[in-house]
Amino acid sequence: MREGEKEESLGDSFRQSRKEFLVMVAAWAVFATWTTIYVGRNSSSEPGEPLRLVLGMPDWVVFGILIPWGFGLAFTMWFSLCFMRDTDLESISEEGEKE
């Protein structure tokens, strides 16, 4: 191990991955909840009422599915690229084998 490096264990790796997992599940739960509530309230229309279109699709599809899931995808990419850490499990397993 090089000087200044913090020694990591599998427990540290597990705690970090659990935090990352909980953030991702919470974020996707928010997007799924928005989709469920918005689509449930706005997908039905009165008979004879004209269908409102956005980008050639019903407006409830755009605002209830397309946009929130697009934000969900963008959040996942941002979180994965900026905040998730990689743990070197090979060095941890090598240290465990030496003991």
**What residue numbers bound the domain in which 71 lies?**
28-41+52-83
Residue 64: other Cβ atoms inside 10 A:
21
Secondary structure (DSSP) of 36-71: HHHHHHHS---TTPPPPEETTEEHHHIIIIIHHHHH
- Residue 92 placed within a domain: no
pLDDT of 40 higher than 70: yes
- The structural domain count of the chain equals 1
pLDDT at 89: 64
pLDDT of 64 higher than 70: yes
pLDDT at 67: 93
Give the tokens for residue 52. 């409102």
How far apart are the C-alpha atoms of 44 and 60, rounded to whole Å? 9
- Residue 68 placed within a domain: yes
Is the pLDDT higher at 85 or at 18?
18
Residue 70: other Cβ atoms inside 10 A:
12
- Residue 71 placed within a domain: yes
pLDDT at 8: 53
- Residue 89 placed within a domain: no
DSSP state of 65: I
pLDDT in tens, 14-25: 888 888 899 999
pLDDT of 1 higher than 50: no
